[in-house]
A and B are shown apart, each in its own frame.
Chain A
Amino acid sequence: EAEVAQSPRYKITEKSQAVAFWCDPISGHATLYWYRQILGQGPELLVQFQDESVVDDSQLPKDRFSAERLKGVDSTLKIQPAELGDSAMYLCASSFPGQASEQYFGPGTRLTVT
């Protein structure tokens, strides 16, 4: 069964360092989402791509976060510099266009900033 792949699964970094997460969506899914899930809270959308274009990044802290999906397939989310408050689970999901209700989630990357 096709799955959304994410790496790494766990990342520990010191504050002020740069960190990057990678996501490979299910083949054929043109829509890709990055969410942040703080412990005890629900996922919060950071950025949504349609192919290689960003369609919603209203909740992305653009002073330190960036996301790209250059070829419209896999995607990278970067944080530079990392802050203590960035410790969270970062989830990637994908879906067919117009099928946001059928999002498939990856296992996530748990980030700890020390």
Chain B
Amino acid sequence: QVQLQESGPGLVKASQTLSLNCTVSGGSITSGSYYWSWIRQPAGKGLEWIGRIYGSGDTNYNPSLKSRVSMSVDTSKKQLSLNLRSVTAADTAIYYCTKVSGLHDAFDVWGQGAMVTVSS
């Protein structure tokens, strides 16, 4: 079964770019049966969908973040990447990488999450 592991800096300075990777194991990163999403959660708050990416590289982003976010797939490394530009304290959160069932459009596998703090 697919497992996900996020990695990246835990501390990012304001106005810089937040970059995270998600390593996929136990399954294909380009399967047509599922795709991938990033979701974040500020401390003590709810979940926010950031965007999704297919193994082909096609993407959809949350309109509220669209101007600052980009996602990509590295099939050779079996890694997904998230970049969020011009970060502020409001971007401090746990960032989750998820697998999305293509048949049911549900987030059925979650990584453990990566805590990212934006410092001034």
Q: Say whether A and B bind each other.
A: no
